[in-house]
Amino acid sequence: MWRRVRAATGYKVKRSDKDPSVEANWEVVATTSKVSYVDTGLESFKVYWHCVSAIGFAGEGEPCQALIGRAA
């Protein structure tokens, strides 16, 4: 879940299970108009990073700071 961005038409959700500082390690897992997303099909007890960027008429905004979590 994240905060709504004014004038955003959607959000791009990215995931990485490798070094998050390497751009090539990120995979787009969803594009949504909602301010939340449930990532499924993750490997139990594996560490993942997620990042969200807003999409608007001017294009894609800067991604947020990556957040780390472990799949249950």
Look at the chain and report how many structural domains it folds into.
Answer: 1
Does some domain include residue 26?
A: yes
Does some domain include residue 23?
A: yes
Does some domain include residue 1?
A: no
- Please write the tens of the pLDDT for every residue from 7-55: 999 999 999 999 999 999 999 999 999 999 999 989 999 999 999 999 9
Does some domain include residue 42?
A: yes
**24: CATH:** 2.60.40.10
Does some domain include residue 3?
A: no
Which pLDDT score is estimated for 65?
85
The domain in which residue 28 lies consists of 10-70
pLDDT of 69 higher than 90 = yes
Q: Is 7 left (phi over 0), alpha (psi -120 to 50) or beta?
A: left
Buried b (16+ CB within 10 A) or exposed e, 49-72: bbbbbbbeeeeebeebebeeeeee
